[in-house]
Structure 1
Amino acid sequence: MFIKDYISKDFPCFHLSDSIESARETIEAFGYTHIFIKKSHHFHGAIAKDFLYEEEGSLKNLEHQIERFAILEDNNILDSIRLFYTFDANVIPVINKSEKYLGYITCDDVFRTLSKYPLFSETGAIITVEVPSRKYSMTEIANIVESNNSKFYGGFISMMSDEVIQVTLKMSNENLASIDATFDRYDYRIVEKYYSDEKTDMLKDRFGFLQKFIEI
């Protein structure tokens, strides 16, 4: 899951001497949120799509709107999630340690990769539990699920403060009532359930769950 395995190169990287009009035409053709700027072969920054409609002339006129964000080719694809969220982007530039521009990855690359894993691909129940921060243990959470003969597909911290931690987890559909009771017995508060107590009408919108993960 290294970034370098997902690099695309067909979206051009512009120079400040290029025209805003050409950048506008390119970004409309690709449907991305940002264009990228380089000086020589080195990454200089990104300009959000909206700014391309505020000026005419060369991209030099928009240099004050450049944002500096990129990801290293040796990073894990999960490292890109914060950048997509922070900069409200659907495309991220990829650079090496010398800041040479190498290409880009897209939000779709992340979705396709993560969707292969059981946390997202398997049908199952999703719940969010809350526990005092001093008592948090992902090992204990997994053990509660598995001790009730259900499969633990994975989980992540969805909220964290000094007092409490909330964990969203995915499991198979077996023995859900027993799992709920065990969490209650171990002083976990169930904040949300993404399944019915009758074990029917299970939520199937995996994309919604993945989006929740991306936005953390």
Structure 2
Amino acid sequence: MEAMIKIKDICKGYDVGNERLEVLKSINLEVEKGDYLAILGPSGSGKSTLMNIIGCMDVADSGEYFLNSLPIHETKEKNLTKIRNSEIGFIFQKYHLIPTYTVMQNIIMPLLVRGKSHTQAEEECKDTIEMLGLDKRLKHKPSELSGGQQQRVAIARALVGNPAILLADEPTGALDRNTGKEVLALFNKLNEMGNTIIMITHDLTVAEHAKRIVRIIDGEMFE
């Protein structure tokens, strides 16, 4: 069976003054459907750059990246935007919720971008909202929620579009220990339900919740 994600010899660098800084050095990675992978590395190791490439927010300088057999490395920017919206659900450390929107408005946003009506979008995300225990919070604004609740809203928003991958960047980084554990337990449940999860973290205890860990050190990957 073909891997859902296939990354081959990916390199990425940036010009800093007169020097070239190589951030990713010949990265190879395969992720199967239903996998739960943690990419573990210290600050500055290249893990965020790799996340941006997997999430189609940045492109590699060289190498190949296939997502569900689609050659991302040959895809034009306007099509990458569509792929981001349909194939990838993002969960960020700082939630990235729109403060003036209600919980419901934040959750249905990806579906509205796809052209669905409000009614259609709200109907489609009922089960997700219920599963995440947000049904009594739908009219609240993010500022009226705890950190854990805000992260649940972000997870609901990531899930509603039924993406191929959930891409979580330091998902417990802004949470206290107990709330962080709740969010990680939720990730385990989502993975058991068949969701493919890639989590970026600098914390080994967080990474150990995944089925598989790869490490990035100075732009090189070790399984």
State TM-score, norm by structure 2. Answer: 0.23
Q: Bigger relative contact order, structure 1 or 2, given CA contacts below 8 A and separation 6+?
A: 2
Structure (1 or 2) with the larger CA radius of gyration: 1
